[in-house]
Structure 1
Amino acid sequence: MTTTPLAHLKVVECATFVAGPSCGMNLAQLGAEVTRVDLPGGGSDHLRWPLAGSGASLYWANLNKGKRSVLLDYRTPEGRELLLALSTRPGPGAGILVDNLVGRHRVTHADLTARRPDAISMHVLGFPDGRPAVDYTVNAAVGVPSMTGPVSSHEPVNHVLPAWDLLTGSAAALGVLAAVNRREQTGEGSRIDLALADVALSAVGAVGWLAEAEQVGSRAPHGNHVFGSFGTDFATADGQRVMVVALTEGQWRALCEVTSTTPVFSALETALDTDLRLESNRYELRETIASILRPWFAARPLDELTSVLDRARVLWGPYRTMDEAAEIARRDAGSVARPITQPGIGEMLATGNPLRWDEELAAPVPAPVLGADTERVLAEDLGLSSAEIGRLHDGSVVGSSVDGDRLR
């Protein structure tokens, strides 16, 4: 099966930071032609950290893999006209705009449908009423930091991963595909607004946290314990740490057998009149269970634990630093991460789409140099002449990589 099932789609992306660009990246990695539009000189995120040694943004290069880059000033009348023309091109796979623009320069769904009635717009925003928000403010407001951190902590603990941004990007891509399917079935376009705050609230609701808060109360931090089951971290003899989880009865049995603690836990069950085959009971006795298992892990180095736990089919994983994870991914020929040559950076470990089509992974495609495709898109997609493109350059309506706007 092809790994580019969306090759018929032509998407215009006019968005910055994570949510909107990750939507475009998801679509591009499935074969869609995604044209990212930024203001001349680059968007507000094109120099965002982390940076490569060259000063180029590793963040920008990885979120924009496989896209085309066009620079045009859509704040000007001519630039806005070009953005509208690009977003409403004819063709069954075109007429799709993903954006997170705000204010008077935003291209609205009404603007699109005035030129193409079956246009599809995916507008990403912070709150449904238009108020601004980012992952970190939404995460704080939805209650997750109050559940995160050490058991003894009374302060909220933020997590590093912009999970709501990435989930919003995935939801936006799904919404675009649903709209394309609707258009193919009915000929109708779609206006879709997707709020970061809605995604976060929907997600915590999906795992029962809202209902839990109303019926039981807010959950306190649990450290590294898995809520409602048994799972926690253990130190090893060589100063490493591992995470061990027993969600099912079979996983619990495997953990007891490999650690030779079956008799101990049988005695504990008798003494407390409990059944540790039940997940909820293992959670209630998590501290006692961990204290019994802790010496076994502390007596063995990670290499030995790896062999023993894998052989026993225990559900576990080692704690690694990011550089260790990168090193392992680079060595793994079947990894979703592969080295690519990225303009402005050189060799860079990058990830492709994680979907495996008939056991095949598509290789990651480098991001473009900022503005690298401006002239080609204006000429080939909009039919502008060299003289017209030159005039737009002279008026600073468009920009390109040859103007010195580099990915750095």
Structure 2
Amino acid sequence: MNGPLDGLHVIECASFVAGPTGGMTLAQLGAEVIRIDPLGGGSDHRRWPVVGGGTGPAEAESYYWASLNKGKRSVAVDMRSDRGRELVTALVTAPGADRGVLIDNVVGRRWMSNEALVARRPDLIHLRVQGYPDGRPAVDYTVNAEVGIPQITGTEEGAAPVNHVLPAWDLVTGLSVSTAVLAALHDRTRSGRGAYVELALADVALAGVANLGWLSEAAERGRERPRHGNHVYGSFGTDFACSDGQRVMVVALTEGQWAALRTVTGTAEVFAALETALDADLARESERYRLRDTIAAVLKPWFAARDSATVAAELDSARVLWGRYQGMLDVVAAHRADRHPVLAELKLPGGAAAITARSPMRWNGEHGEAGQAPDLGRDTAAVLADVLGLDEREIGGLVDDKVIAAPLPG
């Protein structure tokens, strides 16, 4: 794929979300990313969601794996064999100014330790994704539990922690992977030095909540932030039901947004009277948060008296900050109607249709191509020939010895 990183070569030996997201980000910017998996695929090769919803054959293709690894070249090697390990090491440490970049999340492979690889290429850029900084395993859902977010998520009446569905820390870690790789490349260009960068998922989560000021608040107050359902913390924002049952999320962070909301709903005089009665200044964000339930009660009848189409037209006309609650089928329908240029169709190797995404970065107004879905091991022979210079006889010998699989047709 052409792009600003055209010519850069990256080796990726990572599974699940964070590492592959970093590699995919670089691939969509034009880098050649070679993903290396064990023969038969790694632990994430058939991860849900899969074609058929899991009701079909056990080997059903994974929408997840195909989309996170689109635009990459796929190499499958028996990494339990000495020859397989040597092939991987040679790919990682191949010479060239635009080579020698590795993204991995491997644990316990001494032959892939930074020390072993740097001995072969001193200027190697090695980005290792970890669970915890000490190397212990973790996933998004476990670190999210440990930084306190499920304890402040959910309804006011709830007692049990509420886990999130989106693996947000994995995605942030993946983007941090691509940032770290580009920073290390910039430094290597200037200094000739390589870099070993360790990036722990737990640290990303801790940094996230700390940088938002949430830990400082808890330390100062000596108690957890209370749950408050769909209300926006520290400001005014909540959901309302329209007359047709559709719900919308309305937010007023700024004085201008608050004024627009009052004007379109015809409640300016009501809120002025409330300010006098309650000795409040609703121009202040903190006051709108303190009186959020009262404000919501005043606004509720306006939404309940109108269907969602009318609400949408009037809120848009008044430039109110709002969003419509939708299911994913609604997003699919909008994509089919060409309303989301960032989305794209993806054909899986087995023929199934999938929806994936182009890069959200628009370069000169263009998202660029999404990239093709990989087929496990399809590029093994070609990569070994291109990067390591192996000839047909040598590749045939590796196939015969089951170090690599036979090249796939095409």
What is the TM-score of this pair, normalised by structure 2?
Answer: 0.95
Compared with structure 1, are the counterparts of its residues 385 and 334 closer, same or farther at alpha carbon in structure 2 (3 Å cutoff)?
same
Equivalent in the alignment of 1:203: 208
CA-atom RMSD, angstroms?
A: 1.4
- The 8 Å contact of residues 259 and 293 in structure 1, kept in 2 or not, is answered as yes
1:84-143 superposed Cα distances (whole Å, 9 cap, x missing partner): 110111111100010001113551221221111110000001000011100111111111
Question: Partner of 2:248: helix, strand, or coil?
Answer: strand
Equivalent in the alignment of 1:103: 108
Matched, 1:192 2:197: yes
Matches for 1:143-222 after TM superposition, within 5 Å: 143-216=148-221, 217-222=223-228
- The 8 Å contact of residues 330 and 338 in structure 1, kept in 2 or not, is answered as no
**Deviation of residue 218 (structure 1)?**
1.4
Equivalent in the alignment of 1:299: 305
Which of 242, 259, 263 is equivalent to 1:253? 259
1:142-186 superposed Cα distances (whole Å, 9 cap, x missing partner): 111001111111110001000011111010110000000000010
Opposite residue 255 of structure 1, the aligned amino acid is L
Equivalent in the alignment of 2:362: 356
Opposite residue 15 of structure 1, the aligned amino acid is A
- The 8 Å contact of residues 229 and 247 in structure 1, kept in 2 or not, is answered as yes
- How many pairs are equivalent? 402
**Deviation of residue 341 (structure 1)?**
2.6
**Deviation of residue 4 (structure 1)?**
0.9
1:196-234 superposed Cα distances (whole Å, 9 cap, x missing partner): 000000001110011111012211211000000000000
Compared with structure 1, are the counterparts of its residues 3 and 374 closer, same or farther at alpha carbon in structure 2 (3 Å cutoff)?
closer
- The 8 Å contact of residues 230 and 279 in structure 1, kept in 2 or not, is answered as yes
**Deviation of residue 376 (structure 1)?**
0.2
Deviating more after overlay: 391-400 vs 261-270: 391-400
Matches for 1:218-257 after TM superposition, within 5 Å: 218-257=224-263
Opposite residue 182 of structure 1, the aligned amino acid is D
Deviating more after overlay: 63-72 vs 353-362: 353-362
**Deviation of residue 274 (structure 1)?**
1.1
Question: Partner of 1:269: helix, strand, or coil?
Answer: helix
- The 8 Å contact of residues 380 and 404 in structure 2, kept in 1 or not, is answered as yes
Deviating more after overlay: 208-217 vs 285-294: 208-217
Compared with structure 1, are the counterparts of its residues 222 and 257 closer, same or farther at alpha carbon in structure 2 (3 Å cutoff)?
same
- The 8 Å contact of residues 69 and 371 in structure 1, kept in 2 or not, is answered as yes
1:345-397 superposed Cα distances (whole Å, 9 cap, x missing partner): 43322101000111111121122111110010011111112121112112221
- The 8 Å contact of residues 12 and 37 in structure 1, kept in 2 or not, is answered as yes
> C-alpha separation between the residues in 2 aligned to 1:7 and 1:402?
26
> C-alpha separation between the residues in 1 aligned to 2:21 and 2:257?
36
Deviating more after overlay: 386-395 vs 142-151: 386-395
Matched, 1:118 2:126: no
> C-alpha separation between the residues in 1 aligned to 2:315 and 2:407?
53
Compared with structure 1, are the counterparts of its residues 44 and 261 closer, same or farther at alpha carbon in structure 2 (3 Å cutoff)?
same
- The 8 Å contact of residues 51 and 352 in structure 2, kept in 1 or not, is answered as no
Which of 390, 400, 404 is equivalent to 2:396? 390
**Deviation of residue 3 (structure 1)?**
6.8
- The 8 Å contact of residues 56 and 345 in structure 1, kept in 2 or not, is answered as no
1:51-70 superposed Cα distances (whole Å, 9 cap, x missing partner): 11372100001100100000
Which of 348, 361, 369 is equivalent to 1:342? 348
Matched, 1:329 2:335: yes
What is the TM-score of this pair, normalised by structure 1?
Answer: 0.96
Matches for 1:371-386 after TM superposition, within 5 Å: 371-386=377-392
> C-alpha separation between the residues in 2 aligned to 1:273 and 1:103?
64
Opposite residue 124 of structure 1, the aligned amino acid is V
Equivalent in the alignment of 1:42: 41
Deviating more after overlay: 195-204 vs 211-220: 211-220
- The 8 Å contact of residues 25 and 63 in structure 1, kept in 2 or not, is answered as yes
1:263-315 superposed Cα distances (whole Å, 9 cap, x missing partner): 00000001111110110000000000000001111111111111111010000
> C-alpha separation between the residues in 2 aligned to 1:340 and 1:129?
38
Compared with structure 1, are the counterparts of its residues 333 and 315 closer, same or farther at alpha carbon in structure 2 (3 Å cutoff)?
closer
Compared with structure 1, are the counterparts of its residues 51 and 232 closer, same or farther at alpha carbon in structure 2 (3 Å cutoff)?
same
- The 8 Å contact of residues 347 and 373 in structure 2, kept in 1 or not, is answered as no
> C-alpha separation between the residues in 2 aligned to 1:162 and 1:295?
36
Matched-pair identity in %? 55
Compared with structure 1, are the counterparts of its residues 286 and 3 closer, same or farther at alpha carbon in structure 2 (3 Å cutoff)?
farther
Which of 295, 299, 310 is equivalent to 1:289? 295
Which of 76, 92, 111 is equivalent to 1:71? 76
> C-alpha separation between the residues in 1 aligned to 2:379 and 2:322?
46
> C-alpha separation between the residues in 2 aligned to 1:164 and 1:389?
40
Compared with structure 1, are the counterparts of its residues 398 and 314 closer, same or farther at alpha carbon in structure 2 (3 Å cutoff)?
same
Matches for 1:132-147 after TM superposition, within 5 Å: 132-147=137-152
**Deviation of residue 399 (structure 1)?**
2.2
Question: Partner of 1:398: helix, strand, or coil?
Answer: coil
